[in-house]
Copies of this chain bind each other. A is one copy, B any other.
Amino acid sequence: MAAKKKDRKSDKRERILAAAITVFAKNGFYDTRVSEIAKAAGVADGTIYLYFKNKDDVLVSIFSERIEQLIDVLTRIADREDKTPEQKIRKVIELQLGVLEGQRDLAEVITVNLRQSSRLLKQYAAPLFTRYLEVMARIVADGQEQGAFRRDISPVFAARSLWGGLDGIALTWAIADPEPTQLRKAAQQYERLFLDGLTHGCTS
Residues of A within 8 A of B (CB): 25-28, 30-31, 108, 111-113, 115-119, 121-122, 126, 130, 133, 152-154, 157-158, 160-169, 171-172, 175-176, 185-186, 189-190, 192-198, 200
Contact = CB atoms under 8 A, between A and B. Distances in A.
20 contacts: A30-B117, A31-B117, A112-B115, A113-B118, A115-B116, A126-B176, A153-B189, A153-B193, A158-B189, A158-B193, A160-B169, A161-B165, A161-B190, A161-B194, A162-B165, A167-B168, A192-B200, A193-B194, A197-B198, A200-B200
Contacts of A113: 115, 118
A108 to B, nearest CB: 8
A190 to B, nearest CB: 6
Nearest to A170: B164
Contacts of A196: 196-197, 200
Nearest to A198: B193
A117 B28 contact: yes
Contacts of A186: 157, 160
Nearest to A152: B192
A168 B153 CA distance: 16
A53 B95 CA distance: 44
A199 to B, nearest CB: 9
B130 A157 contact: no
Contact of A167 (B130, B167, B190): B167
A144 B174 CA distance: 27
B193 A197 contact: yes
Contacts of A116: 28, 30, 115-117
10 nearest CB pairs, A to B? A164-B168, A197-B197, A28-B118, A196-B200, A161-B165, A193-B197, A164-B165, A115-B115, A196-B197, A165-B165
Nearest to A164: B168
A122 B175 CA distance: 7
